[in-house]
C-alpha cells in the first residue's frame, strides 16, 4: 500500500507540474497573439525606423506563435534528477517563467544531452531519468530508469525501460510514433553527429531509424540555425504517400523549416506518376542516362551538311558549314550551358553575316561609297532566313522539350544512345501523350543542368537586381552617415542599419518560407539533406540530390538488405 501511495503521489506531483507548463504555454500564446494583433493594427505611417521595426516585430511574433502552436501535444516527456538535487524537465521547447527561471529545457539544448547519453556505467551526474507518458495534456504514467544504485531501495523508484516499453505496448494507430522520449544513447549520437559529411543510418524494419532521422533534422535546425535557417533541410522520402505519412511528426517537434519532398516532386512545374515499368525505371536510373542526356544536348548543336543560302532584305548571303562549326567550337569553349553558350554562337555568326552583307553591298555600289551602313546588323538579326538557320543549328531548349523528344522520337534516341541495345531503347520509348514519371525527374534535372536558363536574359535580370541592391545599400549607408548625429542625439543610434533601411525602401513580394521558395527553384542549395529508404534511390536520383546540396551534408537512412527497387543500391559503397 505504501508503494502504491508513493507512486500515486509521484504521479499527482508530475500532473501538477505539467499543468503549470501548459498554463505557461497558454499564457505565452495569448501574449504573442496580443502583441501580433497590436502590431498589425498599427498604422503604416511614421519614420522609416518605425515601419521597419514594426515589420520585424510582426515577423518575430508570427514565428514564435507558430512554434508555440506546434508543441501542444506531449509538450514535456522527461525529467532528470541530478546529483546536486536539481530536477530538470525535458520537453519539445524551452520554457521560462516571468522571472526567467527555467521551467523546461529544450530537448535539443546541450544540457538536455544527458537525458539520452547517461547510462548506469557513466551516469554523467544523473541519478534518475524519468519518462513522462502523456495523453494530450494529461500525464497518464511515469517510468523511471534508476542510474544511481543508492536509489534502488527507494520505494518510489519505478525501474524499467521507461517509455520504450510504453511505446511497444501502445496501440498502433497508423501514424508513426514520435519516439523522442525513448531515444537510446546510440540513437542520440546519430542525432547529434556533426553537420558536415555523410552519416549513414543502417537498420532493419521497426528499429526506429526513420524517427531518428527526423529528429536529427530538427536537431540540426536548432544547433546550426544561423547556417540552415535560410538554406533549410531537405527531407526526401521514396514516395509522396510516405511524405504525407511522416508530415505529422516534425511539426510536433517545434520545427517548421524542413522541406519535405518525394523524388518525383523535385522538378518544379512537373507532375509525375510512378514509373509503371520496373525495367524502364532501372534503365532510366543508371548512370548511362547521364551520358545519353549529354549527347542529346550535343546533338542539338548541329553543323549543316552544305551551304545555306539566306535572303537578307533582297541580298543573298551564304552560311557555310565551316562558319557554323567554328562558331560552335568557340561557343562550347566558353564552358557555359547550352542556352547560355548559344548567345556566343549567335553573336559570332551574326557578326560574320553582317560583314558579308556589308562587303556584298559595297561591291555592288562601287568603291568609295560612304553611305551609312549601321542598320545592316539589325537587318541581319531580323531576317527570317537567318533566324531559321541559326535555330536549326543551335535551338534554345527547355528540359521538357529535350527529354520529351528523346523519349518519343526513335531517331533522337538512337543518335543520343548508340551504346544501348534495340531492346533497351524500346524500353525507353513511349507515346508523346504519356505523362511524366518519377524516373523521368532525374533526366529532366540532368537536362536542366546542361541546358541552363531557357531565357538567358533571366540571368542578366538577376545580375541587374543584385547591382540595384548594392546601389540601394550604398545610398542607405550614405543616408545614415548624414543623419548619424541626429540619431545619436535622439538616443536611437544603432537601431537602424543600412541593410534594414535599404530593405525597407525595396518593393518586396509576400514573405515566403525557405520551403516555399525552394519549391519553385530547381537550383536551390540546401544546407543538409535527410534521405529515408535511401537504398531505393537510383544513381541518377543520387546525382540530382548531390546537386541540391553542394556542401555534401547528408543523413542517409535505410536497410540495404531490404532494397526492392530494380534501380536501387545493393551496398552502401555502391550508393556512395
Within-domain flag for 556? yes
Q: How far apart are CA 40 and CA 237, in angstroms?
A: 38
CA separation for the pair 526, 524 (Å, rounded): 6
Q: Render each residue's pLDDT in the chain as its tens digit; 576 residues.
A: 445 677 888 889 999 999 999 999 998 888 888 877 777 777 555 555 566 666 666 777 777 777 788 788 778 888 999 999 899 999 888 898 888 899 999 887 888 888 877 766 678 898 888 888 888 888 888 888 787 777 765 544 444 443 343 444 444 444 444 544 455 667 777 877 888 888 888 877 766 777 777 777 767 776 777 777 777 788 887 655 555 555 555 555 555 567 777 788 888 888 888 888 889 989 999 999 999 999 999 999 999 999 999 888 888 989 999 999 999 999 999 999 999 999 999 999 999 998 888 888 877 766 555 555 678 888 888 889 999 999 999 999 999 999 999 999 999 999 999 999 999 999 999 998 899 998 999 999 999 999 998 775 544 555 556 666 666 666 666 665 665 555 555 444 544 555 555 555 554 444 555 566 766 778 888 888 888 888 888 899 999 999 988 888 898 888 777 777 766 777 777 777
Which residue range(s) make up the domain with 373?
301-396
Whether 417 maps to a domain, the answer reads no
Contact 103, 95 (CB under 8 A): yes
* Neighbour tally for 121: CB within 10 Å: 6
For residues 391 and 307, state if they share a domain.
yes
**446 falls within a domain:** no
> Do both 41 and 158 map to the same domain?
yes
* 346 and 474 inside one domain: no
Q: What is the pTM of this model?
A: 0.67
Measured CA to CA, the distance from residue 354 to residue 504 in angstroms comes to: 48
Among 448, 469, 504, residue at a domain's last position: 504
Q: Is residue 450 part of a domain?
A: no
Which residue shows C-alpha cell 524519468? 130
The pLDDT assigned to 243 comes to 56
Q: How far apart are CA 529 and CA 555, in angstroms?
A: 6
Contacts of 195 (CB under 8 A, 6+ apart): 220, 223, 224, 227, 527, 528, 553
**Same domain as 194, residue 146:** no
Q: Quick count: other Cβ atoms within 10 Å of Cβ 307? A: 12
Residues 327 and 304 sit within 8 Å (Cβ to Cβ): no
Domain count, the chain: 4
Q: What phi and psi, each to the nearest 5 degrees, are found at residue 508?
A: -115, 155
CB 281 within 8 A of CB 275: yes
Reported as type and span, the H/E element at residue 572 is helix 572-575
Q: Does 452 fall in a domain?
A: no
User: Residues 166, 62: one domain?
Assistant: yes
- Give me the pLDDT at residue 67, please: 75
Q: Which of 115, 146, 174 is a domain's end point?
A: 174
Q: What is the pLDDT of residue 321?
A: 93
pLDDT, residue 213, reads: 76
Instruction: Write the DSSP symbol of residue 252.
Output: G
Identify whether residues 31 and 147 lie together within a single domain: yes
315 and 190 within one domain: no
CA atoms of 98 and 381, how far apart (whole Å): 72
pLDDT at residue 347 in the model: 93
**C-beta neighbour count of 66 within 10 angstroms:** 14
The residues, ordered by sequence, that sit 6+ positions from 246 with a Cβ below 8 Å of its Cβ are 176, 210, 214, 235, 237, 260, 532
142, 174, 206 — which closes off a domain? 174
Same-domain pairing of 170 and 29: yes
Task: Kindly give the pairing relationship between strand 76-82 and strand 554-558.
Answer: unpaired
Pair (107, 196) in one structural domain? no
Instruction: For residue 238, tell me if it sits in a domain.
Output: yes
- Label each residue of 60-83 as H, E or C: HHHHHHHHHHHCCCCCEEEEEEEC
Tell whether 220 and 319 lie within a shared domain: no
For residue 155, the model assigns a pLDDT of: 47
Q: Are residues 49 and 147 in the same domain?
A: yes
Task: Give how far Cα 332 sits from Cα of 370, 450, 454, 456, Å.
Answer: 38, 12, 17, 16
Distance separating alpha carbons of residues 288 and 300, to the nearest angstrom: 19
Handedness of CA 378, 380, 381, 384 (dihedral sign): positive
Residue 550 inside a domain? The answer is yes
Examine residue 224 and state whether it is found in any structural domain, yes or no: yes
Please report the beta strands in 211-326, taking only residues with DSSP state E, as ranges in sequence order.
Answer: 233-237, 258-262, 272-273, 308-312, 315-319
Q: What are phi and psi of 513, to 5 degrees?
A: -75, 170
The CATH number linked to 240 is 3.40.50.300
| Same-domain pairing of 346 and 200 | no
Amino acid at each position: 500500500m505504501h508503494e502504491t501511495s508513493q507512486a500515486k503521489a509521484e504521479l499527482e506531483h508530475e500532473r501538477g507540474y505539467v499543468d503549470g507548463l501548459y498554463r505557461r504555454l497558454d499564457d505565452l500564446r495569448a501574449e504573442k497573439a496580443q502583441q501580433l494583433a497590436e502590431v498589425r493594427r498599427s498604422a503604416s505611417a511614421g519614420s522609416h525606423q518605425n515601419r521597419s521595426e514594426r515589420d520585424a516585430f510582426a515577423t518575430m511574433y508570427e514565428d514564435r506563435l507558430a512554434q508555440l502552436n506546434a508543441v501542444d501535444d506531449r509538450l514535456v516527456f522527461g525529467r532528470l534528477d541530478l546529483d546536486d538535487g536539481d530536477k530538470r524537465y525535458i520537453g519539445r521547447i524551452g520554457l521560462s517563467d516571468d522571472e526567467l527561471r527555467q521551467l523546461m529545457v529544450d530537448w535539443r539544448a546541450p544540457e538536455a544531452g544527458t537525458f539520452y547519453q547517461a547510462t548506469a556505467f557513466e551516469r554523467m551526474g544523473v541519478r534518475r531519468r524519468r519518462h513522462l507518458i502523456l495523453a494530450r495534456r494529461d500525464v497518464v504514467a511515469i517510468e523511471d530508469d534508476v542510474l544511481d544504485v543508492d536509489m534502488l531501495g527507494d520505494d518510489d523508484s519505478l525501474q524499467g525501460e521507461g517509455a520504450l516499453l510504453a511505446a511497444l505496448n501502445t496501440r498502433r494507430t497508423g501514424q508513426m510514433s514520435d519516439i523522442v522520449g525513448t531515444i537510446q544513447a546510440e540513437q542520440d549520437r546519430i542525432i547529434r553527429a556533426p553537420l558536415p559529411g555523410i552519416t549513414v543510418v543502417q537498420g532493419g524494419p521497426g528499429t526506429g531509424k526513420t524517427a531518428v532521422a527526423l529528429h536529427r533534422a530538427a536537431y540540426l535546425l536548432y544547433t546550426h540555425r544561423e547556417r540552415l535557417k535560410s538554406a533549410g533541410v531537405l527531407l526526401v522520402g521514396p514516395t509522396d504517400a510516405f511524405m504525407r505519412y511522416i508530415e505529422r511528426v516534425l511539426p510536433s517537434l517545434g520545427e517548421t523549416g524542413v522541406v519535405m519532398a518525394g523524388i518525383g516532386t523535385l522538378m518544379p512545374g512537373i507532375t509525375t506518376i510512378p514509373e509503371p515499368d520496373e525495367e524502364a525505371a532501372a534503365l532510366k536510373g543508371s548512370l548511362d542516362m547521364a551520358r545519353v542526356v549529354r549527347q542529346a544536348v550535343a546533338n542539338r548543336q548541329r553543323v549543316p551538311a552544305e551551304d545555306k543560302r539566306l535572303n537578307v532584305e533582297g541580298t543573298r548571303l551564304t552560311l557555310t558549314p565551316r562558319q557554323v562549326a567554328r562558331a560552335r567550337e568557340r561557343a562550347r569553349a566558353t564552358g557555359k550551358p547550352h542556352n547560355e553558350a548559344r548567345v556566343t554562337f549567335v553573336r559570332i555568326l551574326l557578326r560574320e553575316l553582317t560583314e558579308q552583307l556589308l562587303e556584298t553591298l559595297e561591291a555592288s555600289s562601287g568603291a568609295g561609297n560612304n553611305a551609312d551602313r549601321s542598320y545592316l546588323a539589325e537587318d541581319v538579326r531580323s531576317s527570317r532566313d537567318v533566324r531559321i538557320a541559326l535555330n536549326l543549328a543551335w535551338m534554345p531548349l527547355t528540359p521538357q522539350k529535350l527529354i520529351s523528344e528523346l523519349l518519343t522520337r526513335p531517331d533522337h534516341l538512337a543518335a543520343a544512345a548508340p551504346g544501348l541495345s534495340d531492346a533497351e531503347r524500346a524500353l525507353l520509348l513511349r507515346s508523346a501523350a504519356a505523362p511524366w514519371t518519377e524516373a523521368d525527374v532525374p533526366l529532366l534535372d540532368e537536362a536542366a543542368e546542361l541546358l541552363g536558363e531557357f531565357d538567358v536574359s533571366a540571368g542578366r535580370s538577376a545580375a541587374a537586381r543584385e547591382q540595384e541592391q548594392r546601389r540601394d545599400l550604398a545610398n542607405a549607408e550614405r543616408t545614415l552617415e548624414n543623419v548619424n548625429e541626429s540619431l545619436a542625439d535622439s538616443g536611437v543610434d544603432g537601431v537602424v542599419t543600412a541593410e534594414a533601411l535599404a530593405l525597407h525602401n525595396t518593393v518586396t513580394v509576400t514573405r515566403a518560407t525557405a520551403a516555399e521558395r525552394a519549391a519553385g527553384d530547381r537550383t536551390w542549395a540546401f544546407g543538409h539533406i535527410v534521405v529515408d529508404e535511401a537504398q531505393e534511390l537510383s544513381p541518377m536520383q543520387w546525382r540530382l540530390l548531390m546537386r541540391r546540396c553542394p556542401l555534401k551534408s547528408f543523413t542517409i537512412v535505410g536497410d540495404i538488405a531490404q532494397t526492392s527497387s530494380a534501380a536501387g543500391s545493393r551496398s552502401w559503397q555502391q550508393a556512395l
